[in-house]
Amino acid sequence: MNVGFYGHVRQYRGIQAEIDGNLREVLESGQYVMGPMLKRFERELAAYHGMKYAIGVGNGTDALWLSFMALGIGPGDECITTPNTFFATAEAIWIAGATAVFVDCDPRTNCIGPAGIEAAITPRTKAIVPVHLYGQCADMNAVRKIADRNGLLVIEDNAQAIGSRGDGFKPGELSDAACTSFIIQKNLGCFGDGGAVVTNREDVDRVVRRLRNHGSEKRSCHGMGFNSRLDDLQAGVLSAKLTRIDEWNALRRQWAARYSAGLRDARSITLPYEMPGYYHVYHLYVIETRKAEHRDSLVDFLAANGIDAKCHYPIAIHQQEGYPWGKGARIAGAIPNSERNAACCISLPMFPELTADEVDYVTGKVLEWDRTAGAA
């Protein structure tokens, strides 16, 4: 059996009539940029989050740095985040001209650890940028308290966790802005690039809206800005898919539970940890080998059996040669958990359109490896 990592075409088949209908509506309207479909999707996305404002932008990276810029974060400012995330979290801080300060993640959730944040605060600290890694919210109750005590901004990197919940909060509610990505492999994916900023702050809404469209609020009047718009065709795809996101996230949780039950007794790996009271949406189902030297052995064994497993993310940002050190970033304190996560992580196939047979096949192969190579 072959089990792929994504189910993009299966998903399209399941919702083809709605997507094609929206695409036709946009095509026949003649309004492809900043048109009515974008406005409609922005309204729907804000309502979905229970938030006042949603602004569609070109991609998730832009959503982050446009938010930083709208909140006045720039040169001389430090933003505290984790190094075990997709590169774009730090890249966006660099684009804004600020300095990324990397602290360690929590050993169980792999999201930012509150103790590390407190220890890393300096007079230059301006913001905390928690990443809701793999589809589970960071501990925003703790982040909010630290931010309040120290007068810091909070910008959530919510690229992976649309539809998730924490204990008593949803993404966006405890921060100045939550930033999401709609690139196809995310839980809510369009057919290309897209992103959005969700916020309750009227000033953030107004400034991001202006910055994404050449600094213009009124036709022909400009301040300095950029071009980063979500186009109406992508908004049409997303508007159709948004009606299914809760159903799809529930399926992801169902497959995650099936993996975790099947792999419960495996001795050489650890399974994802869900915080009590949290609703993890399993953008990725990430296990870790107990020994770093086992990671590639398991990935290769799965590949040899037709299973596409991946690693998110095998090189932490502070280990990337391409990251600009000095003004660009620094590490605060020891970061053993982030380094263990990078060395040991394996993402098993996870998408709503998996079948029970596929999940059971993958589970069986992981167990087979666990009994043989994993026991060595």
Q: Under the criterion CB under 6 A, does residue 7 sit at the interface with ligand PLP?
A: no
Site for ligand PLP in 230-259 (CB under 6 A): none
Chosen residue from 22, 59, 164, 289 binding ligand PLP by CB under 6 A:
59
CA distance 64 to 95: 10
Q: Under the criterion CB under 6 A, does residue 160 sit at the interface with ligand PLP?
A: yes
φ, ψ (nearest 5 deg) of residue 55: -125, 120
Nearest distance from C-beta of residue 75 to ligand PLP, angstroms: 22
CA distance 58 to 80: 24
Q: Under the criterion CB under 6 A, does residue 159 sit at the interface with ligand PLP?
A: yes
Chosen residue from 11, 175, 181, 199 binding ligand PLP by CB under 6 A:
181
**Whether the Cβ atoms of residue 328 and residue 99 lie closer than 8 Å to each other:** yes
**Whether the Cβ atoms of residue 159 and residue 187 lie closer than 8 Å to each other:** no
**Residue of minimal Cβ distance to ligand PLP:** 60
Nearest distance from C-beta of residue 195 to ligand PLP, angstroms: 5
DSSP state letter for 374: G
**Whether the Cβ atoms of residue 195 and residue 229 lie closer than 8 Å to each other:** no
Helix (H) or strand (E) holding 14: helix 8-14
Select from 107-115, 153-161, 289-297, 336-344 the region that touches ligand PLP (CB under 6 A). Answer: 153-161
Nearest distance from C-beta of residue 261 to ligand PLP, angstroms: 27
Closer Cβ to ligand PLP, 61 or 99, answer by number: 61
Nearest distance from C-beta of residue 159 to ligand PLP, angstroms: 3
CA distance 331 to 316: 12
**Whether the Cβ atoms of residue 138 and residue 116 lie closer than 8 Å to each other:** no
Nearest distance from C-beta of residue 18 to ligand PLP, angstroms: 23
Chosen residue from 60, 135, 166, 172 binding ligand PLP by CB under 6 A:
60
Select from 40-48, 54-62, 94-102, 353-361 the region that touches ligand PLP (CB under 6 A). Answer: 54-62
Closer Cβ to ligand PLP, 61 or 249, answer by number: 61
CA distance 340 to 338: 5
CA distance 318 to 309: 24
> In Å, what is the CA distance from 322 to each residue of 30, 200, 249, 257?
42, 35, 34, 37
Closer Cβ to ligand PLP, 282 or 361, answer by number: 282
Nearest distance from C-beta of residue 185 to ligand PLP, angstroms: 8
Site string for ligand PLP, 189-208 (x = CB under 6 A): ----x-x-------------
Nearest distance from C-beta of residue 291 to ligand PLP, angstroms: 27
Residue keyed to tokens 């996870």 = 350
Closer Cβ to ligand PLP, 49 or 312, answer by number: 312
Cβ neighbour number for residue 318 with a 10 Å cutoff: 20
Instruction: Specify burial of residue 293 (Cβ count, 10 A radius: 0-12, 13-18, 19+).
Output: exposed
Nearest distance from C-beta of residue 364 to ligand PLP, angstroms: 29
State the angle between helix axes of 232-242 and 36-49 in degrees (0 to 180), rounded to the nearest 10. Answer: 40
> In Å, what is the CA distance from 268 to each residue of 273, 349, 375?
16, 19, 7
Nearest distance from C-beta of residue 131 to ligand PLP, angstroms: 5
Q: Under the criterion CB under 6 A, does residue 61 sit at the interface with ligand PLP?
A: yes
Cβ neighbour number for residue 13 with a 10 Å cutoff: 10
Q: How many residues bind ligand PLP (CB under 6 A)?
A: 15
CA distance 46 to 162: 12
Cβ neighbour number for residue 122 with a 10 Å cutoff: 9
Site for ligand PLP in 80-99 (CB under 6 A): 85-86, 88-89
Chosen residue from 80, 131, 237, 298 binding ligand PLP by CB under 6 A:
131
Select from 20-28, 53-61, 148-156, 240-248 the region that touches ligand PLP (CB under 6 A). Answer: 53-61
Which residues sit at the interface with ligand PLP, rule CB under 6 A?
A: 59-61, 85-86, 88-89, 131, 157, 159-160, 181, 183, 193, 195
